[in-house]
Chains A and B, each alone.
Chain A
Amino acid sequence: MALLFFREVAKSYGVVPVLKGIDLTVEPGEVLALVGENGAGKSTLMRIAAGLAPASTGTMLLDGAPAPGTLHEAERAGIVMVHQEFCLAPHLTVAENVFLGRELTRGLFTDRKAMEVKARALLAELGSDAPVRARLRDLPVSDWQMIELAKAFARQPKLILMDEPTAVLSATEAGNLFTRIRAFRKSGGSVIFTSHRLDEVKAIADRVAVLRDGQIVRVEKTSAISENEMAEAMVGRPLAEIYPPRRGAAPRKAFLSVTGLSAPGAVEDASLDIREGEVLGISGLVGSGRTELFEALLGLRPAKCRSFVLRGEERKLPAAREAWALKLAYLTEDRKGKGLLLAKPLDQNVALTSGAIAGAAWIDRRAERRDLEAAVERYDIRAGRLDVTAGALSGGNQQKVLIAKTLGVEPDLVVFDEPTRGVDIGAKQQIYEIIAGLAAEGKAIVVISSEMQEIVGLSDRVIVMRRGRSAGELSGDAITENDIIRFAMGLEEASPQEEASH
C-alpha cells in the first residue's frame, strides 16, 4: 500500500488555480523528486503534504487513512518538512535547535546532556561535525541546513519533505546528505524533495515527477528519463541551444580602463579593460572579490585606483550616484536585498533608478505606467496583472523587472552580477538573449557568475578572480571550464598579459 496517496488534489487561492488534478503516490522506502520551473506549484504541493496548507479539493490518504490537515497532526503522523527558509532559533545552541519543541526531559527539567549526545550522533550521520553546544548564529549557513536536516531526522518520521535541501550545501555536504537519505530509504523511510539541480535528481531519486503550470506532466523512474528530457518537460518545449550564438572575435574599443584598483579587505591592485560591444565574464570562487571589484569601480564601496580612463578620458573614481549619471550601471546579485522594493508596485520599481538620476521633481504616473507596459513587452515579464507588487512575481520575472529597472537609465556599461540566480531555465534563456542583444548594440557588458557554463557560454573574454586580484584572463575559444577552474584555484600562473600589467 502506498504511504501517501493523492488523487485529484487541487488548490486555488481565490479564483486562481495553483494546482490542478494532482495524482501522486509515494511508496514506503521511496525517494521522489519534484521538479519544475519557479511557480510551477512544487512548494504548494509540498505544503499541502506537510499539512501547512489545506487542499481545495481532492483525496489525500496517508497509510490508507485520511491525511492529516494541520502541521501538528502531520508531525504526529510522521511527516516533517525541511523548509528552504530556516525555521531555527539563532540564539539557541545546536542541540537545543535539533530538539526544538521535542525536548528530551528528565523529570521537570530538560536533559541537556542527552540532547547533546543525540544531536551529535544525528549530525554525525549527516557527516557534519557542527559543535552541538555552539549557538547557531555563530555557525555558517551550510551548518544550519545540516541542523535543519538533523532536526527532521530526530523526529523519526516516515516521510520527510525537503524543499531545495542542497541549495546552500557544498558538493561534499550534498554527498553526505544523499548517503543519509539512502540509509533512511533502506530503513523504510520516504522522501519527497525539490531541486533545481537535475543531476542531483538523477543521482538520488527513485522517481521524478515533473510539474508545469500546476499539473503533473510527467512521472518516470529516474533511470528512464534523461536530464534533458526532464528540462524539456519542465518548459514544455524542446530546448534549443540555451546560449546565444557567439560573436566572432574582433578588435574592440576600450570603454573603461582601470589600473591599480584597491578596496580595503576585498580587492587588491586590480587592473582591467572593459570594451564596447563585448561580454566580459568574471569568474572566481565565492569570496574572491568579484562583486567587490565592481562595487569599488562604481562607487558602491570605498576604493582608490591609479588611473580610471572612461571613454578615453582620465578622471577620478566616481561616487555611487555619479557612476549612474555617467551611464555605468550595476545590476546587483542580491535581488531581494538590494535590487527591488518587493512591497512596491512594478511601475515604481521600474522607474526607481532612472527617476532618481534624471527624474523631474513631480512624478508622472501615466508615464511610469507606460514605461512598465513597454518593459513588460520588451523583457517578457509575466505578471498576470500589472498592479501587483514586485514580491508577488516569481524569481525569473523579478529578475526581468530588475533588468528593466537597471536598463531604464540607458547605460553604456552594464555589470550583471549573477544575472540568473534563482531563475528557471526559460527565463534564463531570455536573460541571455537580452545580454547578447545589449552587446550587439555596442554596449560594454560585464557578467559576474558562479555558474561556469554561463561564463563559458556567454563571454567573449573572461577574467578569473582569486583573492582580490585577477588571476588570469582567457578569451575566445580559449575559454574553457577547465582553465577557469585552474586559475580560480590558483593552480596556474597568471597569463602573460596579466603579468605585464603588474
Chain B
Amino acid sequence: MTDMTATTAGVAAASPGRSLVRLLEAAGPLLALILLMIVGSLMSDSFLGAENLSNVFTRSAIIGIIAVGATFVITAGGLDLSVGSLSALVAGMTIMFMNAAAATLGDGWLLVAAGIAFSLAIGAFAGFINGFMIVKGRVEAFIVTLGAMGIFRSVITWLADGGSISLDFSLRDAARPIYYGQVLGIAVPIIVLAVIAVIGELTLRRMRFGRHVAAIGSNRHVAFYSAIPVSRVRILTYVIQGLCVAVATVIYVPRLGAATPSTGLMWELEAIAAVIIGGTALSGGFGRIWGTIVGVLILGFISNILNLTGFISPYLNGAFQGAIIIIAVLLQRDRAQG
C-alpha cells in the first residue's frame, strides 16, 4: 500500500506535465519576490530607486542574519523563539560593556572590535544554553526557548530599568559606520548579510555538517542509527543561531545607538516566517538559505510598499502582509506535501 502510492508519487513527479509544478516548488519564493517588486514599481516611482532598494536591503539585513541561523535550527527540526529577546539582551549588554570599556580601550576601532567580540560571546553562550537544555535536558524546544524568551526580555528590561540603554554619544561615531557605512557603494549590512548567507548556504548544502543537520531534521532516529553525532549537531545549530543573533545585533546597535525593552519584539516570528516563506520545511529535514533571504526581502518589501504607497488603509497592513505570506507559501505547497 505505502510502497505502491509512494512509487507512483515519485515517478509522477518526473513526468513532463508536472514540470511547471516542480519549477514553482524550486523557485516559488523567488517568483513571489519578483511579482512583489513588479507590483511595487508600478505603484511607486521611487520604489526601484537605488536609495530605496538600499534602505530595504540594509534594514532587512538584521532579520536576515537572524533568519540564517533560524534556518539551521528549523532544518534540524528545532525551533528558537528567543531570538528577538536575545537580540535585545545582547544589544543592551554590548552597549553597557562598550560604555564601561571606553575608559580603557578608548573610543576607536579597538573598542568596536571588543564590543563585537563581547556580543558574539554572549550570543554563542546563550545559544549553547538553549541547545544544551533542549538536547541534554530533553525539554521541548518550544518550551525552552519560550522560557528563554521571557528570561532574556525581563533581564534587559531590568537592566534598563524599563527604559532604554544608550551608547554614549562620544562612542557613536566609532560604531556608526557598521550600519551607515559603505564599501564600494554598498552598505555594510548588505555585505555582511551576503557573506553570512553564502557561508550558510555552503555549510548547509555542501558540508557534511549541513547534511547532518538536514538528516536529523528529516528523521532523528535514522540519523542516530546512521552514526551521526546527533546531540552535538543539534546543540551546534542553536549556537549558530546565537552567533547570528549576535552579528545582527552588532549591526543593529549603531543604527539608533540604543537598546530598549521593545528591541527585537516579534523578530522571532519574522525570522521564522522568512524561513518558511523561503521554502524550508517547518517540520525540519529540508532547508535552503537563499530561500530564507528571499523570504526576508519579501517581508521587507511588503512593508516598504505599504509605506510608499499608502494604497490601503494602514488598518489593513497586517491583512496584506498575511495574504502575501500565504501566497508565497502556497506557490510551493507541493514540495511540502511530498
Contacts and interface: CB of A to CB of B under 8 A. Distances in A.
Interface of A: 13-16, 18, 38-39, 41-44, 83-85, 163-164, 300, 320-321, 324, 330, 332, 334, 337-344, 348, 352-353, 355-357, 359-363, 384-385, 388-389, 391-395, 405, 409, 422
A355 B228 CA distance: 9
Interface of B: 1-18, 206-209, 211-212, 214-215, 218-219, 221-222, 224-229, 285-286, 338
Main DSSP-derived SS at the B contact region: helix
A15 B226 contact: no
A355 B10 CA distance: 25
Given A338-B225, A362-B206, A16 B15 contact: yes
A15 B11 CA distance: 9
A85 B4 contact: no
Contacts, number: 133
Contact of B225 (A39, A339, A361, A385): A339
Given A343-B286, A361-B209, A392 B7 contact: yes
A43 B4 CA distance: 7
Given A13-B15, A343-B218, A348-B211, A391 B226 contact: no
Contacts of A343: 218, 285-286, 338
A20 to B, nearest CB: 14
Given A16-B15, A388-B14, A394 B3 contact: yes
17 contacts: A13-B9, A14-B16, A14-B18, A39-B7, A337-B219, A338-B224, A341-B215, A341-B218, A342-B6, A343-B338, A355-B211, A363-B207, A388-B13, A392-B7, A392-B10, A393-B6, A394-B3
A363 B4 CA distance: 32
Contacts of B218: 341, 343-344
For the complex of A and B, 4 pairs with smallest distance between CB atoms: A392-B10, A14-B15, A43-B4, A324-B227
A341 B3 contact: no
Nearest to A396: B3
Given A39-B4, A341-B218, A14 B12 contact: yes
A107 B221 CA distance: 50
Contact of A363 (B3, B206, B224): B206
Interface hub of B3, B5, B218 (most chain A Cβ within 10 A): B3
Contacts of B13: 388
A389 B10 contact: yes
B327 to A, nearest CB: 25
A28 B9 CA distance: 34
B222 A337 contact: yes
B3 A38 contact: yes
A330 to B, nearest CB: 7
Nearest to B233: A356
Nearest to A395: B3
A38 B2 CA distance: 10
A85 B2 contact: yes
Contacts of A14: 11-12, 14-18
Contacts of B227: 320-321, 324, 353, 356-357, 409
A330 B225 contact: yes
Given A321-B229, A330-B225, A361 B207 contact: yes
A9 B208 CA distance: 48
B1 A163 contact: yes
Given A348-B215, A352-B222, A356-B226, 19 more contacts: A13-B12, A14-B15, A14-B16, A14-B17, A14-B18, A16-B12, A38-B3, A38-B4, A43-B1, A83-B1, A163-B1, A300-B224, A342-B219, A348-B211, A356-B227, A362-B207, A384-B11, A389-B10, A422-B3
B235 to A, nearest CB: 16
Contacts of A392: 6-7, 9-11
Nearest to A365: B206
Nearest to B214: A344
A338 B206 CA distance: 24
B21 to A, nearest CB: 11
Nearest to A334: B221
A362 B227 CA distance: 17
Given A352-B226, A355-B211, A362-B206, A393 B7 contact: yes
A356 B212 contact: yes
B1 A16 contact: no
Contacts of A320: 224, 227
A16 B219 contact: no
Contacts of B7: 39, 392-394
Nearest to A339: B222
A408 B14 CA distance: 28
B94 to A, nearest CB: 31
A41 B5 CA distance: 10
Given A321-B227, A357-B227, A340 B11 contact: no
Contacts of B10: 388-389, 391-393
Nearest to B9: A392
Interface hub of B18, B221, B286 (most chain A Cβ within 10 A): B221
Contact of A43 (B5, B214, B224): B5
B17 to A, nearest CB: 6
Contacts of B212: 356
Contacts of A38: 3-4
B11 A16 contact: yes
B190 to A, nearest CB: 27
Interface hub of B218, B219, B222 (most chain A Cβ within 10 A): B222
A83 B285 CA distance: 28
Nearest to B8: A13
A318 B291 CA distance: 41
A439 to B, nearest CB: 23
A334 B256 CA distance: 55
B16 to A, nearest CB: 8
A353 to B, nearest CB: 4
B208 A359 contact: yes
A137 to B, nearest CB: 20
Contacts of A83: 1
Contacts of A337: 219, 221-222
